[in-house]
A and B are shown apart, each in its own frame.
Chain A
Amino acid sequence: MNPPTIDLTRLKSLIAELAPAFGPSGEEGPIRELIAARVRPLVDEVRTDALGNLIAVKRGGASGARRVMVSAHMDEIGVIVTHIDDDGFLRFAPVGAMRAPVLLGQRVMFDDGTVGTVGSEKLDDPKDLKLDRLFIDIGAASRKEAAERVRIGSMAVYAQDVRAAGRCLTGKALDDRSGCAALIEVMHQLQAEPSPHDVYFVFSVQEEVGLRGARTAAYAIEPDVAFAVDVTATGDIPKGERLAVKVGGGAAIKIKDRSLITHPRLRRLLIDTAEACGIPYQLEVLPYGGTDAGAVHLTRAGVPSGVISIPTRYLHTPGEMLDPHDVAAAAALLAEALRNPLAVGPD
């Protein structure tokens, strides 16, 4: 069987459109509106739940149809303003896993388009480079002038577009807007060749601060089976971590991370599907980290859950880098898996 045809141009432009949008954990409004507009023509129903998860339902309606939850988080890491000083400089705390050495010198943006540069106090030792020594300079001359644009609790994210770099794409928030793009591509695929199942596409909130959106979405949906699509770390850079996953090596089928050990039957199903359809894949063990599936699989009486990962370098930096062919492989694998009977429930 040939791999399903993915429109790579469409996929790349979708990633380039979604990744720059504003959406730190808890403030996902702008990215949610953007995704909602893209998915509305492709599904039967679109709704937002109490926490802000965007849930798009595509009904299969076949007899024996299962309820399948497919999740990609739309939130991104960011910073939140904690203090404005007399001279208009902003102190901040991280929203999600932000590292000081990465932030220094970056341009960040607020949801109204206000931009700032991340500066540092004078440090005697580079080891002192910690988040509490950094500040954001939005060009304000005083507290009053700064307060006209931002207030305590305002959030900012990296200001960065998506650019092509050789075979790859690079930009901010490819974690996990590339997964969101993969889900939308799956919707296109299911238009052409439907799934028998009722598929609940969840663009989840607050993943970066503790898998929170997926937890409540799964409770409401009560899925029989669940998949998450998220990025994963790779071992293919100079003197990098000892991981087997490579950018350009295909969709990564997760075996384990800190939040989940993939249900063995679901793991086999994904591997067999990739083999049968000629979809490039690799196997992934991540000694840390977690995805929406970590929360989903422990919902109610338990949900067999799997993860299709997109290998990505330089995670949680404004220069995340991935190969769109891997995103295409992830979308193709998920679309094929959704056409499977998915008989992986309890005995």
Chain B
Amino acid sequence: MPQPTNNDSVLYGPVRKLLRELSELPGPSGLEEAAQDRIAAVLNLYCDSVHRDALGNCIGVKSGEGPSPRPRVLLAAHMDEIGLIITRIEDGGFLRFAPVGGIDPRALLAQEVTVLTDPPLFGYVGVKPPHLMDSAERERAVPIEDMFIDVGLPEADVRRRVPVGTPVVVRRPFTNLLGTRATGKALDNRAGVCAMLEAARLLSGLRFSADVYFVATVQEEVGLRGAITSAYRIVPDMAIAVDVGFGEAPGLPEDQVIGVGKGPAIALGPNVHPRLHERLVQTAREHGIPHQIEPMPGSSGTDAWAMQVSRSGVPTAVVSIPLRYMHTAAEVVDLEDIRQTARLLALFAAGLTASDKEGWSRALA
């Protein structure tokens, strides 16, 4: 296990600690209560007020010093993670399940999982031994309907302790890699939540004019649902989704990936208001924040896609943290990218002035 150096602990210590905690929190879509409680507690440290809405979105508000009406900027990072949900208990006490969000069934076999009963149960996604597979079986992927979780308990105990509908997440302790990289589960999008919370902390040390809404959204992985309702309530003047992007790795199309360790990726495409994009790039340049441009030709697949068409329309942008091995139990991020994303968000929000309240829409001559 690599040991962090002294310099490392000053720059990355708090982010590393927060990211570890966020990564290990269980919070599959719709069943994020544990994550909500913890994230709301962190927001409370830095915000003037924090509340939870009808769907469970955690909303922290920091009010600026500018004259009223102040521009209102919404920063959204989804807190939910992909997971599983128990659909049926089979004879012998084996658990059948369905996906919650975009699970890749091939990445599930032979994984350790946490069955979120109270107290949680350790489980294992069982696999047929290769010796017993015929040649056709070896060739084909196992459909998710045929997989099962073994919690190692007698059937009667399983039936008593695991009701249908129990959520499940992969079990993977957060691990530091060399340098500033780290690996774990749910870094999509706890890395984004971490950057957003760190931005709230940074903003606490700055003077700023705008009202900043930090929203940890629910149910992104099943259809951007938390973003739909939170944007409706907040009525922002602009909104930025903070999410993860595809980090470069062998075998990935070069034109669809972003560099790991090269700073936040500022997206450009139909889901992004060009002026908001420009302002983010300008902020990064002014403050020496390493950054990259990420083309997104279509739906960004992020909360920004929903927020953009909230009510009568919201200028939106997407800031992505490069991440490798998305939607597996071993996602990889670089803490430096998280740190620089937080700086970008905080400095952008701090740079907003009263004139940003108006001017996004205007009458044509």
Q: For residue B225, which residues in chain A have a CB less than 8 angstroms away from its CB?
A: 297-298
Contact A242 B31 (CB under 8 A): no
Closest to A235 in B: B88
- Give the interface of B toward A (CB within 8 A): 29-31, 33, 51-57, 85-90, 96, 98-100, 145, 163-165, 219, 222, 225, 228-230, 232-233
Indicate if the CB atoms of A303 and B54 lie closer than 8 Å: yes
Q: How distant is the Cα of A303 from the Cα of B54 in the complex, in angstroms?
A: 6
A-B contact pairs, 27 of them (CB 8 A): A242-B88, A243-B88, A244-B87, A244-B89, A255-B85, A255-B164, A255-B165, A261-B29, A261-B219, A261-B222, A263-B56, A283-B164, A285-B85, A285-B164, A297-B225, A298-B225, A298-B228, A298-B229, A300-B229, A301-B53, A301-B54, A301-B233, A302-B57, A302-B229, A304-B55, A345-B54, A346-B53
Q: List A contacts of B228 (CB < 8 A).
A: 298, 302
A261-B31, A283-B165, A285-B98 given as contacts; is B88 within 8 A of A297 (CB)? no
Chain B residues, CB < 8 A from A267: 165
| CB interface residues, A 253-278, toward B, < 8 Å | 255-256, 261-264, 267
Determine whether the beta carbon of B30 is less than 8 Å from that of A256. yes
Q: How far is the CA of A297 from the CA of B222 in the complex (A)?
A: 13
Q: Which residues of B contact A243 (CB under 8 A)?
A: 87-88
Q: Does any Cβ of B come within 8 Å of A166's Cβ?
A: no
Which residues does chain B contribute within 8 Å of A44, judged by CB atoms?
none
Contacts of B145 in A (CB 8 A): 242
With a cutoff of 8 Å between Cβ atoms, the chain B residues found around residue A264 in the complex are 30-31, 33
Chain A neighbourhood of B233, CB < 8 A: 300-302
Q: How far apart sit A284 and B165, CA to CA, in the bound complex (Å)?
A: 7
- Are B229 and A242 closer than 8 Å at their CB atoms? no
Inter-chain contact B165/A285, CB cutoff 8 Å: yes
Q: Is the CB of B232 within 8 A of A244?
A: no
Q: Which residue of B lies closest to A225 (CB)?
A: B54
Name the contact of B164 in the complex, choosing from A244, A287, A301 (C-beta under 8 A): A244
Shortest B105–chain A CB gap in Å is 13
Residues on A with C-beta less than 8 A from B51 are: 346-347
B229, A283: Cβ atoms closer than 8 Å: no
Q: Which of B30, B54, B87, B230 contacts A261 (CB 8 A)?
A: B30
Evaluate contact between A285 and B86: CB separation under 8 angstroms: yes
Say whether B165 contacts A256, CB under 8 Å: yes
The 5 nearest A-B residue pairs measured at CB? A261-B30, A255-B165, A302-B229, A301-B233, A287-B98
Residues of A near B57 (CB, < 8 A) are 302
Contact of A283 with B53 at beta-carbon distance under 8 Å, contacts A244-B87, A301-B232, A302-B229 already known: no
**CA–CA, A153 and B43, complex, Å:** 55
A285 to B233, CA, bound (A): 30
Docked Cα-Cα span, A255 to B29, in Å, equals 12
Q: A283-B164, A302-B233 are in contact. List 12 more A-B contacts (CB 8 A).
A: A242-B90, A244-B87, A255-B164, A256-B30, A256-B100, A261-B29, A300-B229, A300-B232, A301-B53, A302-B54, A302-B57, A345-B54
A284-B53 contact, Cβ under 8 Å, with A242-B145, A298-B225: no
- Kindly count the residue-residue contacts between A and B in the assembled complex, taking CB atoms under 8 Å apart: 82
Given A283-B165, A301-B53 in contact, is the A256-B232 Cβ separation under 8 Å?
Answer: no
A226 → chain B closest CB, angstroms:
10
Encode contact with B along A55-72: 1 for CB under 8 Å, 0 otherwise: 000000000000000000
Q: Which residue of B lies closest to A257 (CB)?
A: B98
Q: Interface residues of A: mostly helix, strand, loop or mixed?
A: loop
- Taking CB as reference atom, which chain B residue is nearest A258? B222
- A280–B251 alpha-carbon span in the complex (Å): 53
Q: How many residues of A contact B (CB 8 A)?
A: 26
B52 neighbours in A (Cβ, 8 Å)? 346-347
**Interface hub of B87, B96, B100 (most chain A Cβ within 10 A):** B87
In the complex, the answer to whether A256 meets B229 with C-beta atoms within 8 Å is no
Complex Cα distance, B56 from A346, in Å, reads 7
Closest chain-B Cβ to A79's Cβ sits at a distance in Å of: 29
Pairwise interchain contact A283-B33, C-beta atoms closer than 8 A: no
Chain A residues whose C-beta falls within 8 Å of the C-beta of B96 in the assembled complex: 242
CA distance A303 to B57 in the complex (A): 12
Instruction: Name the distance in Å between A251's Cβ and chain B's nearest Cβ.
Output: 14
Across-interface contacts of A283 in B (CB, < 8 A) = 163-165
Min distance, Cβ A239 to any Cβ of chain B, angstroms: 13
* Given A256-B100, A264-B31, CB of A285 within 8 Å of CB of B55: no
Q: In this complex, which of A235, A267, A285, A297 has the most chain B Cβ atoms within 10 angstroms of its Cβ? A: A285
Closest CB-CB distance, A315 to chain B, in whole Å? 17
Closest chain-A Cβ to B77's Cβ sits at a distance in Å of 18
Task: Report chain B residues within 8 Å CB of A235.
Answer: 88
Q: Which residues of B contact A304 (CB under 8 A)?
A: 54-55
Q: State the CA gap A347–B85 with chains docked (Å).
A: 26
Nearest CB of chain B from residue A91's CB, rounded to whole Å? 35
Q: Does A287 lie within 8 Å of B87, measured CB to CB?
A: yes
Residue pair A297, B55 in contact (C-beta under 8 Å) = yes
**Most B CB atoms within 10 A — which of A243, A255, A283, A284?**
A255
Closest Cβ neighbor of B228 among chain A residues:
A298
Within the complex, the shortest CB–CB distance from A271 to chain B, in Å, comes to 9
Chain A residues 273-317 with CB under 8 Å of chain B are 282-285, 287, 297-298, 300-304
Min Cβ gap A233→B in Å is: 11
Shortest distance between the CB of A49 and any CB in chain B (Å): 21
> Among the listed B29, B55, B100, B165, which residue makes an inter-chain contact with A302, where contact means beta carbons less than 8 Å apart?
B55
Q: B9: shortest Cβ distance to chain A, in Å?
A: 35
CB-CB nearest in chain A for B98? A287
A282–B164 alpha-carbon span in the complex (Å)? 9
Rounded to whole angstroms, the CA-CA distance of A301 and B87 in the bound complex is: 30
CA distance A243 to B89 in the complex (A): 9
Closest beta carbon of chain B to A345's beta carbon, Å: 6
Among candidates B29, B54, B87, residue contacting A346 with C-beta atoms closer than 8 Å: B54
**Distance between B180 CB and nearest chain A CB, rounded to angstroms:** 35
A256, A300, A302, A303: the one contacting B85 at CB < 8 Å is: A256
